[in-house]
Structure 1
Amino acid sequence: MKFGVVVFPGSNCDRDVVWVTQGLLNQPTRMIWHQETDISDIDVMVIPGGFSYGDYLRCGAIARFSPVMQATLEHAKQGKYVIGICNGFQVLTELGLLPGALVRNRDLHFICDRVPLTVVNPQTPWTTGYLANEVINLPIAHGEGCYYCDDNILAELETNNQVVFRYGSVPTPNVGAENINGSLNNIAGICNRQGNVLGMMPHPERASDPSLGQTDGMKLFKGLL
């Protein structure tokens, strides 16, 4: 399985992903500059975290117009895999591959922490390495990670089992202290209806190397393989 990791001006988590896919899992991996259009050799597109285009206008708003994202749109329509992590999740919502939006955190502060997550849907291609309602711990680092959508979209996400991860240690929405950024229904990650496109604010690539003392994120990559 060949991974492609997009590099925008302002990306800063691209090499973290490459270290996991190529360095730890020995999978062929190519770093893809944002102006490229031919990704036909890629099986899995990774839109990494960072501050694409400096997060001007709003997070992901400029990156969505990059040539590589139009190619990624077609990649996803073919049923191939796409994951957006943190800023990558923001880009995927701007592109329309995933519904909703990521807005300013509830307390208007940038949050850098390690938080518990509940695996709500272990039946996607991305989560086969986890158990239903398994509680894992992953790092977060975002200022605009509060998931928001209208009531109809939220109902569809819940009905269609598209909520993949929630903040906190319970599988049901909890507006208490474990909802760290104010996201609707504690949503930390969602997928499209087909399950081949995943967007999540927490960073699995930062919790994959045993030398960092935390490997809950590795299950996502191994599960996909």
Structure 2
Amino acid sequence: MLLERTTKLVADVGQFAKMKRSAGEAKALQTRAEQLSPVAEKLAESAETLAKIRKAGIIVSFMPKERDELGKRTADLLTALRADPNNLVNPAIDLKYQFIDRLLSVATAAQSVSLAAWRRHVAENSEHAPEEILSALAAIPDYQSTVARIRSLQKRVSHLAETVPADPANVTEEIKRIAAEHREIWEMLTEGGIPDDVTAFLRACGLDGATLGSFTPSVAAWLGERGLIHLFRIKLR
């Protein structure tokens, strides 16, 4: 309703501007049309974004607090314009602060809510490996290419979450495919799980080196089961 009324107001202002015989009055109305047109465009854009999100089955709740008030104000301005175009040249309200800025705030809020809903949806349908474990595994040469692949998949998902796409449903399918690939790689990489002491040992090896005491039996067993013992050397400081 708010979008339709605002769009109609902009159209009527432009039409009256063309009809005015006085150059001064026509210019004043044209200025109003130029002020209002971006507002209508922003509202249309935000409404389209909300519609795309909801069509994809993503729940997003948005109800502007000032919807009724702004809707009525738009209707009043439209009525006043039709009664006398000069009513919009010198309106009874502060057009910028009481109308234009508030409509732009509505449009901005709608975009923010849509983006937040999309990002939640992406997070719910994607996989993410802890960076500390990836860093630890990346210290093992045999795992570096696999870790790089996981990071590449995660980077792609992060990129997809930056903005609401033109086709959320289609992008959701891509995210699910990435998640499936991520799970497959991660399960092969961490088959049997990674004990905390193994994670700490690998992380230390990737930095300044691990102490001999941190090479516990469970660490030795985990590395041995994966044929990785030969990759490590003991050195004196």
TM-score by length of 1: 0.20
Please say which structure displays the higher CA radius of gyration: 2
**Structure showing the higher strand proportion among its residues:** 1
**Structure showing the higher helix proportion among its residues:** 2
TM-score by length of 2: 0.19
